[in-house]
Amino acid sequence: MTTETTTATDLTTFENLLAAITAPEGQGVQMKDPATGAVVGYAPQRTEADLDAAIATARQAQRAWGAKSHAERSAYLNRAADAVEAAAEALAELLSREQGKPLNGLNARFEVGACAGWLRANARFEIEPQVLVDDESGKAVLEYVPVGVVGAIGPWNWPMMISIWQIAPSLRMGNTVVLKPSEYTPLSVLGLAAVLNQVLPEGVLQVLAGDGALGAALTAHEGVDKLMFTGSTQTGQAIMRSAADTLKRLTLELGGNDAGIVLPDADPEAIAEGVFWGAFINTGQTCAALKRLYVHESQYDQMCEALVDVAKKMPMGVGTDEENVLGPLQNKAQFDIVSSLVEEARAGGARILTGGDPDEDQPGYFYPVTLVADIDNDNPLVAQEQFGPALPIVKYTDLDQVIDWANGLEVGLGSSVWGTDLDEARAVAARLEAGTTWINKHGAVDPRVPFGGVKKSGYGLEFGLEGLKSVALPKVTSW
Ligand code: NDP
């Protein structure tokens, strides 16, 4: 048995995985389960001096890593996926305890599975040199070479999966990565990195937990060539400013407020479960979740009833209880945002179909699934990104009007159209201002399909060949 295999085996239990990453009790920042308040562990806090050292290590390691062939790096990604699969239960438990999401459903086990899936997909893609000119005038070939050191910063909602979205393509293209996780979910990302680092060469992937200031230092650092950021539009704007002096390449996946339009020919009963999970995946804490539902007046009452029926069947509770498929909000700040937006909607005359009444005696940041009907399009619950388990359902009569409403915000990450006639649905989809428009589904990301926002939802693409190109430099050779 090799040393690597021995270490991999060691990280397959939750206790061992946690012991490998946590700071000693009383040191570092205490991380608590948002469902129960129980202490999960302690996040070590790194300084700017640590960051300088990590970036120097990453620059050094990049030479050998970037010199490997695509086939060699792909083999590493596949071995990293094997390691994630071997430690899957331990990773899912860590994620569930720190982030709050249940083990079951489209939650912790699903997220860990997606990490392995994204690693394997990135290992599979082939980027062939592109012959641009080949005639009597000469030849020109376009290839993609490593950028160098990638700085990555992510949010707390899907901490492992979004980190993999940054790590996998960056490594595949020959870059090394220095990652600063969200202050709310650092242990999840440290745990994932510990598992990946069982098989990756030293210095290729480093995760440094710390606060927003450490993230800001990463974005301004001269030793970083490219930034991949997923988080709020506001922080994305700060990062763009901070990266200007060193002219770093940027990929910014920012906030959204996705519209879903239910066309008159849709069957409310048939689509209700798909609409529900499009909106409430990860208890609504998802960038590309359906956050504003527009339903034609002819279907409105049936759609509302069908959604209430689905909502009532979905158990919410502590993440590690196997029966739950919905969990708490990850943090108090997000709980407060959702509560205040729902209260504002109620005060404005909207009708709460279900939810809207969190149990104040229950520990944890649980907010019930909340469906809000008879709400105006300009109500803050519709116009702002609630990022939680509350869905406003807006009635419309006219297609042009609803398309204007859907396009009326500054953000444009995803959107969806629900209907039976596919040609009609595609014609509506073509008029929506969003990076992706799904038909009869929402938020179904795929590692083979480029994903990114328009307007203030982002800058650049992730996933697929386009995602690989965005963590590489185009290099033309002409002769
Ligand atoms: P934030 O923008 O608040 O934080 C994201 C990350 O940025 C955190 O790691 C944070 O660190 C760090 N950070 C904060 N300030 C700075 C700074 N000045 N410079 C560099 N880094 C900084 O977002 P949230 O974590 O609250 O995530 C929720 C938002 O993310 C929502 O708007 C959501 O829509 C969006 N999102 C977008 C996705 C997409 O793919 N488009 C996917 C998922 C979420 P710290 O925690 O230490 O403050």
Which residue out of 98, 111, 253, 385 is catalytically annotated?
Answer: 253
Residue pLDDT, tens place only, 304-343: 999 999 999 999 999 999 999 999 999 999 999 999 999 9
- Residue written as token pair 């690597």: 4
CA of 421 to the centre of ligand 1 (A): 38
Could you tell me if 170 and 251 are in contact, meaning their C-beta atoms sit under 8 angstroms apart? no
Residue 361's pLDDT is what?
87
Among 427, 383, 15, 410, smallest CA distance to 237 is for 410
Top-confidence residue, 8 or 12: 12
How much is the mean pLDDT over the chain?
Answer: 96
Name the residue with the closest Cα to ligand 1, atom 23: 231
Residue pLDDT, tens place only, 126-167: 899 999 999 999 999 999 999 999 999 999 999 999 999 999
Q: Report the atom number in ligand 1 closest to the C-alpha of 236.
A: 2
Do the strands 436-439 and 414-418 form a parallel or antiparallel pair, or are they unpaired?
Answer: parallel
Token readout for 272 is: 């209700």
Pocket test for ligand 1, best of 221, 287, 291 (most atoms within 8 A of CB): 287
Name the residue with the closest Cα to ligand 1, atom 30: 231
CA of 232 to the centre of ligand 1 (A): 5
Could you tell me if 202 and 87 are in contact, meaning their C-beta atoms sit under 8 angstroms apart? no
Is any ligand 1 atom within 6 A of the Cβ of residue 186?
no
Instruction: For residues 248-253, give the mean pLDDT.
Output: 97
Query: What CA–CA distance (Å, rounded) separates 389 from 371?
Result: 8
Amino acid identity of residue 86, one-letter, is A
Q: What angle do CA 226, 155, 385 make, to 5 degrees?
A: 115
Query: Is residue 287 annotated as a catalytic residue, yes or no?
Result: yes
* Domain spans in the chain, listed from the N-terminal domain onward: 14-254+457-478, 258-446
Q: Report the atom number in ligand 1 closest to the C-alpha of 216.
A: 19
What angle, rounded to 10 degrees, do the helices at 186-196 and 70-86 form?
A: 120
Q: Is the pTM of this model over 0.85?
A: yes
User: Quick one: which H or E segment has residue 268?
Assistant: helix 268-280
Q: What angle do CA 473, 474, 478 make, to 5 degrees?
A: 140
Per CATH, the homologous superfamily of domain 14-254+457-478 is Aldehyde Dehydrogenase; Chain A, domain 1 (3.40.605.10)
- φ/ψ of 146, rounded to 5, equals -60, 150
Q: Helical H runs in 36-149?
A: 48-67, 70-86, 88-99, 108-124
As beta bridge partners, residue 390 has: 370
Per CATH, the homologous superfamily of domain 258-446 is Aldehyde Dehydrogenase; Chain A, domain 2 (3.40.309.10)
